[in-house]
Structure formats: C-alpha cells, structure tokens
C-alpha cells in the first residue's frame, strides 16, 4: 500500500531554497510500519538531506503513533538521575560533575560546595557522564528553553542544577507527564510558539531539528529568543555518517516520514551562519543502539528473529572509531549567538 498522495507535497530545499538535488535513499517506516515508500534527497547547493516529497506538515501528526519513543519515557523525576536505590551515591557524583560542567552559579554552589563533591566532580568531569553533556556553560545564565521537551527528563535535571528551565512540547501525552511533575512546558510546536525576544541564556534541541519542516526559520526564531552570546545546544542524526551508507534504507537517522531533514556538519554550519550563530563545537557522539535498529525493526515486523551480526564489543569499537573520525551516526553541537 502506498501513502495517500494527498498527504504529500514536493518541495525545494528547506534550508537554501534551491531545487537541484539527487536521491540518496528510498526507504520505509521500519519503525512504525506506516504504508508507502519515502524518498530522501541531498541538496546540490547546501548539502542538506531532506524528505522529498514529504508528508505535509499539517498531516504529520498522523505518523506519530502512541508508542513513539520520546513519548514513552517514564516520568522525568524517576529517570532523570537513575532509578535504582543502590545508585544513590552515583547520582550524587553525577550531579556534582554536571553542576561543575553545566550548572550555572547557583547549581555549582549547591552541588560542588563540599570538598568531597569538588573532588568527585573533578574526577567525574572527565568521565562519560560529562562527555555526554555538552552543555559546557559556565556563566551566570539562568533561563533555559528545551524545545521538544518530551516527558521532561532533561528539564528536570537542569532545574536541579539551578536553571529556570522551561520547555515546548506539542504532544498531549508527553505534555501531561511534564505538567504532572510541575514542569513549565508550553503545549505547542516551535514553529507556532510565541517566543519572547532575547531572554534565554541557553536553548536546547535534543533530536528535534530533524522534525521541523522549516529549519532555517526555526533557527532564526531561536536566535531571536537567545540573549547576546547565548547558546544553542543539541543533537541530530549525522548525514555524513558511515552507517547511513552501510545501512542504506535501514539507517535509523531517516526515520521516515517523521524526519524531514538530516544535517551533515557542513549543512549545519551553513544553517548556523544563515541564522546568525557562530559554530562553537560540532562533534560525533553516537550510541550502539541505532546501528542495527532498522534491520531489527524489519525482522520484528516480519515475525523473524534478529541477532546482531557482530559481537557487542566489536560494535562498540566500530561506533567509537566512527565517532573519532567524524563519521558517527549522531552529531552534537553548540552554536553561539553574536554579541
């Protein structure tokens, strides 16, 4: 069965407006089984990979099922710092380390005040905990906006690190979970949100930009809401990933038709420049989970068993090697607004 053509629209590049592109993948919704094939092209001008034709933005909600990943997380409070009682001491180390790395002055004072915490924080700030926290923001900033807050795990963490953290989340179910936990989250999309001018010290977009239909417009809007020298921090699938080539139509980064755009580091830098952001960091930090996710989803759909074709240690090595070479699956980035 094909996708209803009335749901689709043909577009020019949503970043630079050019209409010169070539097909890079024709794939399916392996994850949730929506009908039809979906095509991704690469813009000949700016290098952005985008869905074309794409599902019309006013119809895309039909393709987010109830069990969509970001809406299924447990309530923020329970997952934010780890669930098990025996990890209590580990939570303290994480908090101290993260407060050192990405807390503001209030959070640092609160969590890194004691000598023990300071020592632990120093040790842990070189660990994987902090490698996975690119919000290296040692400032006096207070206000943070998380775009696409999901069930609020990140907002909860940042609030505990001293931030006045608020969010935007269009999904009713996820929004309900945030509100149950007393988190301040607006129930809308970033495209429709009415953002105040120059108030946020940091805006975060974790796995969010690939879902927006107008990335250039969204970036400009975010920059308008940042204070001078404010930071945009986030992560997105990497169009320059080797797994994209190797896995082809099974690559998780397409996730059709929900992902409208996939950035390469070059396209991301270009988008930042157009929006008035200076690129501070772009680097790869990927998980082993995604590598065979598409093939595993297909097997599930067809009622087959799937086992990963290489051992876990080799997969970890492969993912880390690709990250080191800048060819990993997932990009993390920090952009800074001009002063």
- Residues 26-55 close enough to bind Zn ion by CB under 5 A: 43, 45-46, 48
Nearer CB in complex with Zn ion: 201/210: 210
Name the minimum Å distance from CB 336 to Zn ion: 23
Name the minimum Å distance from CB 15 to Zn ion: 5
DSSP state letters, 30-89: TTT--SS-EEEEEETTT--EEESSEE-TTTGGGG--TT-GGGSSPPHHHHTT-S-GGGHH
**Which two three-digit tokens encode residue 285?**
């930090």
Q: Say how many C-beta atoms besides its own lie within 10 A of residue 255's C-beta.
A: 25
Nearer CB in complex with Zn ion: 18/72: 18
| Choices 14-22, 67-75, 294-302, 320-328 (CB under 5 A): range interacting with Zn ion | 14-22
Q: Is 271 in the site for Zn ion (CB under 5 A)?
A: no
| Choices 17-25, 133-141, 240-248, 311-319 (CB under 5 A): range interacting with Zn ion | 17-25
Name the minimum Å distance from CB 238 to Zn ion: 17
Q: Is 219 in the site for Zn ion (CB under 5 A)?
A: no
Element (H, E) at 228: strand 226-237
Instruction: From 4, 1, 44, 6, select the one nearest 24 (Cα to Cα).
Output: 44
Name the minimum Å distance from CB 46 to Zn ion: 3
Nearer CB in complex with Zn ion: 10/89: 10
Nearer CB in complex with Zn ion: 15/205: 15
Nearer CB in complex with Zn ion: 162/253: 253
- Residues 46-105 close enough to bind Zn ion by CB under 5 A: 46, 48
Q: Is 15 in the site for Zn ion (CB under 5 A)?
A: yes
Nearer CB in complex with Zn ion: 43/96: 43
Q: How many residues bind Zn ion (CB under 5 A)?
A: 8
Q: Which of 8, 16, 97, 319 binds Zn ion (CB under 5 A)?
A: 16
Name the minimum Å distance from CB 13 to Zn ion: 3
Place of tokens 């420049």: 273
Which pairs with CB-CB distance under 8 Å and at least 24 residues apart come from 272-275? 272/219, 272/232, 272/335, 274/15, 274/216, 274/219, 274/220, 275/216, 275/219, 275/220, 275/222, 275/223, 275/335
Name the minimum Å distance from CB 43 to Zn ion: 3
Supply φ then ψ for residue 7, to 5 degrees.
Answer: -85, -10
Name the minimum Å distance from CB 291 to Zn ion: 28
Query: Cα–Cα distances in Å, from 15 out to 47, 184, 242, 269?
Result: 9, 31, 23, 12
Nearer CB in complex with Zn ion: 45/207: 45
Q: Which residues contact 308 (CB under 8 A, 6 or more apart)?
A: 291, 292, 296, 315
**Helix axes 153-160 and 88-102, enclosed angle (nearest 10):** 80
Name the minimum Å distance from CB 274 to Zn ion: 10
Nearer CB in complex with Zn ion: 50/81: 50
Nearer CB in complex with Zn ion: 17/69: 17
Q: Is 13 in the site for Zn ion (CB under 5 A)?
A: yes
CB 261 within 8 Å of CB 49: yes
CB 330 within 8 Å of CB 285: yes
Q: Is 279 in the site for Zn ion (CB under 5 A)?
A: no
The angle at the Cα of 223, spanning 218 to 228, to the nearest 5 degrees, equals 175
Instruction: From 104, 74, 270, 89, select the one nearest 180 (Cα to Cα).
Output: 74
Name the minimum Å distance from CB 264 to Zn ion: 11
Task: Catalog residues that contact Zn ion under the rule CB under 5 A.
Answer: 13, 15-16, 18, 43, 45-46, 48
């Amino acid at each position: 069965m094909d996708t209803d053509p009335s749901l689709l629209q043909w577009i020019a590049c949503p970043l630079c407006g050019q209409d010169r592109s070539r097909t890079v993948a024709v794939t399916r919704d392996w994850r949730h089984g929506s009908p039809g094939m979906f095509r991704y092209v690469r813009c000949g001008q700016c290098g952005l990979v985008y869905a074309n034709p794409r599902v019309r933005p006013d119809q895309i909600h039909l393709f987010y099922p109830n069990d969509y990943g970001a809406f299924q997380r447990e309530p923020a409070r329970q997952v934010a710092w780890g669930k098990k009682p025996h990890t209590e001491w580990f939570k303290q180390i994480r908090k101290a380390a993260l407060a050192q790395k990405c807390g503001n002055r209030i959070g640092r004072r609160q969590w890194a005040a004691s000598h023990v915490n300071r020592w632990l924080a120093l040790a842990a700030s070189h660990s994987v905990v902090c490698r996975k926290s690119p919000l290296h923001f040692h400032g006096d900033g207070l206000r943070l906006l998380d775009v696409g807050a999901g069930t609020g795990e990140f907002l909860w963490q940042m609030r505990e690190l001293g931030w006045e953290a608020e969010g935007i989340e269009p999904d009713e179910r996820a929004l309900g979970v945030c509100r149950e936990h007393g988190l301040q989250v607006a129930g809308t999309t970033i495209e429709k949100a009415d953002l105040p001018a120059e108030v946020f010290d940091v805006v975060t977009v974790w796995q969010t930009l690939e879902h927006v239909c107008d990335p250039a417009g969204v970036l400009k809007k975010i920059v308008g809401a940042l204070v001078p020298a404010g930071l945009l921090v986030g992560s997105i699938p990497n169009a320059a990933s080797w797994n994209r080539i190797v896995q082809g139509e099974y690559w998780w980064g397409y996730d059709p038709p929900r992902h409208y755009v996939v950035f390469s580091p070059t396209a991301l830098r270009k988008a930042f420049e157009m929006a008035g952001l200076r690129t501070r960091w772009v680097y790869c930090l990927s998980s082993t989970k995604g590598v065979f996710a598409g093939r595993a989803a297909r097997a599930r759909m067809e009622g087959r068993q799937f086992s990963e074709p290489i051992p876990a240690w080799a997969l970890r090595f492969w993912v880390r090697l690709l990250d080191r070479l800048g060819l990993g699956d997932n990009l993390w980035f920090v952009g800074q607004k001009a002063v």
